[in-house]
Structure 1
Amino acid sequence: MAEVTEDASFSGEDWYGDELADRHFVRCTFRDVDMTELSSRNAVFEECVFGNVKFNASRHADSAFLRCQFLRCNLFEAEFTGCKLTGSVFEQCTLRPLRVTGGDWSFVNLSDADLRGVTFSGVRMREADLTSALCDGATISAVDLSGAHLTRAKFNRCDLRGSDLTAVQPNEVEFRDAVIDATQALVIAQALGLRIG
């Protein structure tokens, strides 16, 4: 049984290097908490607020951050493997270099985020909000971006191979020197109104 903590507030605490396993936090608030090098496994954070929290070099596996708010948090070198972040919002956060492998980031709000050089691999990001996101030099491979909001996003020099680009409107995004595969090239050509002979 997971230990459940509800409606609690944590402020200025030192969780450096802690290990969170099978913990469940509901509607909790974390402010100025140091979670540097923290590791979580099968932990769940539901409708929690993280304000100015340090996630530097933290590692998260098979954990969930559902409908959470991340405000001015630092995720430098953080890693998420098989995690679920559906409906979470990131505002004014430091997100690079971030590494995400697998999991579900659908409906996540990353609008205006600086995602240069980050890695998203095999992630579900259906209807994610990447409006005006700066993703230059990122690896966004085998990612489900169907229905994603991509207006004014920049994907210059990105590795986009294997990702679902059906939501891309070529006249609304930048992707100079991005790497795509043949199937994606057909999708982009069709979006441009071209006919393949």
Structure 2
Amino acid sequence: MVDDAHPLPDKDGEIRHVDFGGQALDGVRYEDVTFVRCDLSEVTTSGAFFSGCTFVDCRFNASTHTSTAFTGCTFRGGNFFDTTFTGCKLVGSTFLRCEYGLVTIAGGDWSFVTLAGADLRKAQITGVRMREADLTGAQMQEAVLQGVDLSGAALARVDLTGADLRGSDVGTLDPLSAHLARAVIDPAQAVVLAEAMGLVVVG
């Protein structure tokens, strides 16, 4: 069910070419709906619920999402420039061929999310749970990843050049596979990475 003020899917479960025009989509619920080339730029959501939805070539530029769930969703060809997620739940969602740029993620649960190969340069990611997320080959140069739970995350070939990793779980980070030049880490992380390289750390 969807609030009458917002578009309903057609008989094929699709919503196509809708300009949401910066609407406040507070508390809306969409399940198993496909959004095709919709413009959600400058939209705000709070307590909204999207489950099993697919977003094809949709724009989320400058949108703000607070305590919203996008669980088990697929985003294909989306644009997330200057998008902010605060306390959101994206467990099991997949991002394919998306553009980001200055995306901000603060808190929330992004476990099992697929962001393989994503260009997340200069992203701000803090206090987020990203357990078993797939960040294989992600471009995260100069990104901030502080206090991020990356337990079990796939981090092969991730580029963290100049990134700030302080307070994040780097237990699955292979320093011989990842790019870590000029990355900022804390002493505890230094020990973990040294041991991952086969070094013996003596106090």
Question: Taking structure 2 as the reference length, what is the TM-score of the superposition?
Answer: 0.93
What is the aligned partner in structure 1 of residue 124 from structure 2? 119
What residue ranges of structure 1 are gaps of 5+ in the alignment? none
What is the distance in 1 between the residues matched to 2:177 and 2:151?
16
| Number of equivalenced pairs | 197
What is the distance in 2 between the residues matched to 1:61 and 1:147?
26
The runs of at least 4 consecutive aligned structure 1 residues that moved more than 2 Å come to 1-8
What is the distance in 1 between the residues matched to 2:22 and 2:112?
30
Matched, 1:166 2:168: no
What is the aligned partner in structure 1 of residue 13 from structure 2? 8
- 1:142 aligned residue (144, 147, 157): 147
What is the distance in 1 between the residues matched to 2:154 and 2:100?
19
1:145-177 CA-partner distances (Å, limit 9, x unpaired): 110001111100000000000011111111110
What is the aligned partner in structure 2 of residue 152 from structure 1? 157
1:27-72 CA-partner distances (Å, limit 9, x unpaired): 0010111101000000010000000101000000000000100000
What is the aligned partner in structure 2 of residue 71 from structure 1? 76
Opposite residue 148 of structure 2, the aligned amino acid is V
Report if the CA contact (8 A) 1:82-1:104 is conserved.
yes
What is the distance in 1 between the residues matched to 2:109 and 2:91?
6
Instruction: Compute the displacement of 1:94 (Å).
Output: 0.6
Report if the CA contact (8 A) 1:25-1:45 is conserved.
yes
Opposite residue 20 of structure 2, the aligned amino acid is W
Report if the CA contact (8 A) 1:9-1:28 is conserved.
yes
Instruction: Compute the displacement of 1:2 (Å).
Output: 7.8
3-state SS in 1 of match to 2:190: helix
Instruction: Compute the displacement of 1:8 (Å).
Output: 3.1
Report if the CA contact (8 A) 2:94-2:114 is conserved.
yes
What is the distance in 2 between the residues matched to 1:84 and 1:95?
18
Matched, 1:46 2:51: yes
Instruction: Compute the displacement of 1:181 (Å).
Output: 0.3
Matched, 1:187 2:192: yes
1:82-108 CA-partner distances (Å, limit 9, x unpaired): 000011010110111100000000000
- 2:33 aligned residue (28, 33, 51): 28
3-state SS in 2 of match to 1:189: helix
Identical-pair percentage: 43
3-state SS in 2 of match to 1:106: coil
1:118-159 CA-partner distances (Å, limit 9, x unpaired): 111000000000001110110011000110001111100000
What is the distance in 2 between the residues matched to 1:91 and 1:192?
32
Report if the CA contact (8 A) 2:68-2:89 is conserved.
yes
What is the RMSD of the two structures over their aligned residues, measured on CA atoms? Answer: 1.6
3-state SS in 2 of match to 1:187: helix
